[in-house]
Amino acid sequence: MIHYEGPLFRPPSEASSLILQVTIGCSYNDCTFCGMYRHKRFRVRPVEELREEIRWARDQLGEGVRKVFLADGDALVAKAALLEQVLAELNAAFPDLQRVSVYASPQSLQVRTVEEMARLREAGLTQYYLGIESGHDTVLERLKKGVDADEMIRVGRKAGEAGVKLSTMVLLGAGGRELSEEHARESARVVNAIQPRFVSTLVMTPVEDTPLMEEAERGEVDELTPVELAAELRAFVGDLELEGSIFRSNHASNYLTLGGSLPKDKPALVAALDEVLAHPEHARFVPDWLRGL
């Protein structure tokens, strides 16, 4: 059996992946906006349990599993030797395995060396999801991300050096009204410096049991309007200088669903956002009841 300790989270693009909980919770667990693992105490699971679950999954699902996601919040922080054992088991159980991916906090990228990440990539761990959230130091500090923009760039580049594909997230609205444009531009600067394979945006939304929700209840959080968020997204996309990335704003929290390959589709994305800003009354904003929050 697989004994999931809920609640489970995974990126939208891992909807069809087998989820294996290598760690429980998040080793950092301090970001003000994140309520995913507040009630879980962080621990790394024993390899024997994971081995049993992999074998059980092979017996239940057959050998055809192609994608595996290693949960919970930052399983990359587990020792490289353990991750290597898990990858060896996965490769033995699923000969058609194409991709293993994981959430990588900046803190987990600080502890893993480039050599370890390269070895793990060769064993199949080819993609990390990294929440950059902002490239603005004041915003990162307010969010208690635990790193500044320079450190975010350094750790993001480490993954790139190891040949790992990075899928990065930026939190629209995280700078409030006052820092909106600076947050957009600084975030683009950090993303440009990292050159991730994927860039996506989410809209910062206070959720239960988080410091951000407490701030919102005290009236300290600006909730940007869909048009203000479109202006922020326009500033962000306009400053992106990417050499070969996919951009998406398809997470359920977004008001505008956009996507494209960069640099090719940048002019079309910018034009679409300019059109929204010029004629917001005709824009197709996703209504709140459909945003799946």
Q: Which stretches of the chain bind ligand SF4, using CB under 6 A?
A: 26, 28-31, 34, 36-37, 73-74, 105, 131
Provide, rounded to whole angstroms, the least separation between the CB of residue 140 and ligand SF4: 11
Cβ closest to ligand SF4, residue 104 vs residue 117? 104
Least Cβ distance, residue 273 to ligand SF4 (angstroms): 26
Q: Closer to ligand SF4 by CB, 117 or 276: give it.
A: 117
Residue with tokens 């699923």: 94
Is 131 or 226 the residue whose CB approaches ligand SF4 more closely? 131
Smallest CA-to-CA distance from 257 within 226, 215, 278 is with: 226
Smaller CB distance to ligand SF4: residue 29 or 192? 29
Using an 8 Å Cβ cutoff, are 10 and 186 in contact?
A: no
- Coil, helix or strand at residue 2: coil
Closer to ligand SF4 at the Cβ: 31 or 153?
Answer: 31
Both structure tokens of 235: 């500033």
**Residue 245 and residue 197 in contact, taking contact as beta carbons nearer than 8 Å:** yes
Least distance between ligand SF4 and beta carbon 122 (Å): 26
Report the nearest approach of ligand SF4 to the CB of residue 282 (Å).
Answer: 35
DSSP state of 263: T
For residue 132, the minimal CB distance to ligand SF4 (Å) is: 11
Question: Contact 32/144 with Cβ under 8 angstroms?
Answer: yes
Phi, psi dihedrals of residue 200, rounded to the nearest 5°? -135, 160
What is the spatial distance between Cα 107 and Cα 102, in angstroms, rounded to a whole number? Answer: 14
| Phi, psi angles (nearest 5°) of residue 289 | -70, -15
CB of 6 to ligand SF4, least distance (A): 15
Q: How far is the CB of 72 from ligand SF4 (least distance, A)?
A: 8
Whole-angstrom CA distances from 199 to 27, 96, 99, 106 are: 24, 27, 19, 16
For residue 248, the cross-strand partners are: 200, 259
User: CB-wise, 211 or 226, nearer to ligand SF4?
Assistant: 211
C-beta closer to ligand SF4: residue 17 or 29: 29
| CB-side neighbour CA atoms (13 Å) of 288 | 4
Structure tokens at 202: 């989410």
- Can you tell me the distance from the alpha carbon of 261 to that of 16, in angstroms, rounded to the nearest whole number? 23
Q: How far is the CB of 75 from ligand SF4 (least distance, A)?
A: 10
Q: What separation in angstroms does the CA of 288 have from each of 12, 176, 275?
A: 19, 19, 21
Output 213 or 227, the one with its CB closest to ligand SF4: 213
